[in-house]
Structure 1
Amino acid sequence: MPVREKFELGLKELQLKLTELGEFSIDALHQSLKALETKDIELALEIIDNDAKADMMYEEINDFAILLIAKQQPVAIDLRRIIVGIKIATDIERIADFAVNIAKATIRIGNQELVKPIVHVKKMLEITSNMLQLAIKAFNEEDTKIAKKIADMDDEVDHLNGHAISELMEISRQNPEYVQQISHLAFVCRYLERAADHTTNIAESVFYLVKGRHYDW
């Protein structure tokens, strides 16, 4: 098999591994919100246990990328593709960590009835999930147009986060007995907001990959 063809197959495998890690992280986020909304402690514990799989997938991506560099000795744009892939894997793995953090918040809240429906939180999750799916697509297709859309979606998550926090603070003033739960819910909002930020980092990495410079959102 020609060297170039072998290298292209390696890049495709790297993309597949990143896509798999992204899908795992998206599912973990959805499951963490499900556990929170339904007060499912067993599911929350399962999410925490499954984080070891995300760590393993992340390590596999790093090892594979390093091996690809060592064996193929890529230069210029090809080397940049691999390095960007490693950086993106770091952002995706961090998103999986936020799902674990939400699961831990669920355990701390326990069986206590939620002070309010988590409508804004679920909307933040929906947007963040879509952002991550688009970010992975943008990387695989090296599409900066898709990458630019993600910044606008991140602004929407920021807006929802601010609105949710304001509501929680108002409830806290009126119901001080729920201050501990409200604190945990505020952290959940923060975790989703940070997940969206890491997804925006992926979009920035895609722009750097294609254009060779960083994009000022």
Structure 2
Amino acid sequence: MAPVPDSTVVAYRDDGPLSRAMGLLVAGQLPPLPPVVAGAFVIGVLLAIGVAGSDGLAVFAPAVTLLLAGPGSTHPHDGRFDWLVPPVLRLIEYAFVMACGFAHETPPVLIFVLLGALAFHHYDLVYRLRHRVYPPAWLATFGLGWDGRMMAVSLVALSGWTTVGYVILAVYLWALFGWESLTCWLAAPRSGVPGTDTGTQD
């Protein structure tokens, strides 16, 4: 599989303000893939030993991921396998959301509603970037990014209000991503969508 263009791979990461700020510290000099793979391994170990269910350790998983993967956010992602970074970040985020939810006895329907909001956003992001319909810069900030969402899940787990927190987060993200996607596609020129350009000439 060939890697997609550099700027598109970076956009697929869906970094939030925290991750982007850490990337600025290293000015794009840190290769993105090795730290993300290391972060996935560490998160897997933490989840395997029950970190998501421990009130004292729940914050470590997103913090570790942020420290490892965040600095790579400003790299151009032009390596042969750097296209793997976004799917690894998706795996980390989804696994953490599920682990925290199930460990704190959150109703499964709420867990999957929250995951649905994330999956919808990431699918929409991939689809629109393929057709050069770019999301506004503010979306990653208000959408919190993978880093901010993991931190939010961790904080509600630490507070003991996991169910309420998942409800609030799911409603907020569905409203934000759904509204922004709808308005963006309605405003997009039809020529930017395959199949709408008939190719006729005057």
TM-score norm. by structure 2 comes to 0.38
TM-score norm. by structure 1 comes to 0.36
